Structure 1
Amino acid sequence: MNHMDISANKLSGEFPASLSKLQMLEYLNLSRNTFDGHIPEQLDHMLNLDTIDLSHNKLSVEIPKSLEKLQHIQVLDLSFNLLEGEIPTGGMFANLSAESFLGNYALCGARKFHVPLCLDKTERQSESNAARVITTCTIGGSALVVFVCTLNGISCCRKRGLLKRPYDIERLRKITLPVISYRELLHATNNFSDANVLGSGSFGSVYKGILADGTTVAVNVLNLSFEEASKSFDIECTILRQTRHQNFVKVITSCSNEDFKALVLQYMPLGSLEVCLHSGAHHLNLFQ
């Protein structure tokens, strides 16, 4: 067997280290389950692997440096787990991008991965609690409240008093929210095709997208070349987390890193409120 795909099967428990015995395997996809524990170092025995997708699980601890031995890897996706520590830089890691590590709460390493620089041992001990703050804003409906704070990093959370007690951090780690990667947004919007554009302005563009589960959404992508656009993203998140009303567009989730910020919103098939009110092509009924 050289191909194994058991993704999205609601599997749980520790990562099955016995998989390392399948040394002829070339493709391994365990994504979108709830595997936990560490990534086994024995994976370095699977020298024929060219694709490893472990995204959207609950894998923790550090990424094994032994994975640098896998010379044929073309795709490694470890995004949206609970990994921490330094991202290796040798071997195939030298060719990976930040997308491979999105959504992990305490990774550090090279700047190209869009993570903080690693601290030395003394600094790491003094900052160990703070480093656990989730650094990717993941917003889901009513769960929008706490996680918007992470857009501005640790200091933002401290200002709002969200992390005053050690167990607050542990509570954050146990919260499950819908998350989405940049790669998924590319697929949903047909690579942000012009045909999917619903509207645009100086601060960015809104695209129609269809997620993997068939949900139609509006993806508000900010133009980060404008400093005010980034501020607008933070303000918009803050306002939406403070507002609950049945007539406001629901925020489904978001995707945010150093180079890309987008809100994924509930799709309004009738267009904007302005169009509904002022365009003769639309007529609102009593319930609308």
Structure 2
Amino acid sequence: MPPSPSPPCILPLLFLFTIFTLPLIHTTFANNHHYVSKTPVYEPEPEPELMQYGPEGVQVPSNLVFENQYIQRAYIALQAWKRAMLSDPMNFTVNWVGSDVCSYNGIFCAPLPVSTYHHSARVVASVDLNHADIAGYLPDELGLLSELAVFHINSNRFCGTVPQTFSSLKLLYELDISNNRFVGKFPPVLLSLPSLKFLDIRFNEFEGPIPSAVFDKPLDALFVNNNRFKNGIPSNLGKSPVSVLVMANNELGGCIPSSIGYMGNTLNEIILLNDNLTGCLPEEIGMLKHVTVFDVSFNKLSGPLPASIGGMKAVEQLDVAHNRFTGEIPKTVCSLTNLQNFTYSFNYFTGQPPTCAPKVANGSDNCFAAKTDQRSKAECSSTMAHPVNCNSFGCTRTKPPVYTPRPAHKPPVYSPTPAHKPPVYSPTPAHKPPVYTPTPTHKPPLYTPTPTVSPTPASPSGMSSKGFYSPPPPSSYPSLVPPPPGWGMSSQSKYHSPPPPYVYNSPPPPPSHDESSKTYPESPPPPPSEDESSKGFPASPPPPIRRHVSPRPPRLTPGTYIYSSPPPPIYPNY
């Protein structure tokens, strides 16, 4: 019987099987018994939980600690704003990191007033990004800064519109967004800010009409110059209690409302240069008794210079140049004892220039016969030099009882009878004895002849030959009187505001080749017109040409708040 074959060697197979299965057994055992390998394993730490807020998607790490809820909301608002900044060449916001928002550049905190909020938690009270050259837009999250009092971002490159969420800034006192690239109509949300006193939106691209509601607000300073506003100056201009009003370099057109006279108790500066204004200067400008700067140059104003201008007793800078004024300059100009600069060049004034010239006066290019630096005979005989009918411009007072001071004169003019009725209509009892029976009084001592030859006694002063008392004519009324009460203005002409004090810079008037000696600062000149481009009037670039110097500040009472609005930056080689 043959031997059976030997079984194959299984030892090598068992060895290979052991090598491949032991690692699997080890891994399974470690997982089931939470075995920790001695080899260190490096795993990333888990990120803190994030909470997301607002349209900009700001994420607040849960490990951040804020001192109160106001600071946390401010963090969300400022981080959203930082995301909306498209360019920050000066790295102004480089430290806008972390929960200590009060240490951010341009951010200032202050405690809440205990009397109002019953606690003194710190809040973001002021934002000042002036001259940071930041480009971007204003996000909706800025409405979270509900305790903000000051918002200054002038001289940057912010664009777009002012967000509607600004309506929650109930404590906002100063708003300066000037010298940026904002567009659209006058921001309507600004009319809903109850605490606003200082508003500066100049040097932007706003357009359309200036809403009349802005003159119903209790503002103290209003700058809307160098935009594209049109459709004239609202007729309720006189309701505004502002001390400074600058509307220059727009395309307003139309007339200067006669209600301007009602601003006499508060207005210190008004600048309306290069606004395409027409019509005549209203007589009511003489009621602006506290105005120190009055500039209506580079317009199309016509007619005479009102004699009532003598009522502007405080005026120091008076500029009516580059208009179409005719007639003689009123002598009342000589009663302006504070006048330092009177510019009336490039008009059609005739007669003689005022002999009481102020420190600086410029009357060139008019029609004064005795001077050499005047217009040609052809110009002075043209239609422009002819007198005009001011009523033809449609600027007449549509509501005399409201817009003229006539109501103050109405009682003595239209109803003098009650005061004079007794002596006019029934004087006989008082004067009858001496008139009709003079004999008993004079016969014994003076006249012995019969009474028929006695002379009739002279009638008392103010009596007619028949014995009736004739009241004297009413005395002449002054040409101007203070406006009647009302108009929604408070009895105080100034508003008190928190320290520190500021100083504002009003946009200056345009330059002229004849006016280099003026102390009044200069502003970007308007575009040349067909009839004046040959006179050397330069074209106006959109931004300012050079840094301006503010005119002499108005004389204000102690405690008056003077606002700060830095001028636009200088653009080199421009």
Q: Higher RCO, 1 or 2 (CA under 8 Å, sep at least 6)?
A: 1
TM-score normalized by the length of structure 1: 0.44
Larger proportion of helix: 1
TM-score normalized by the length of structure 2: 0.23
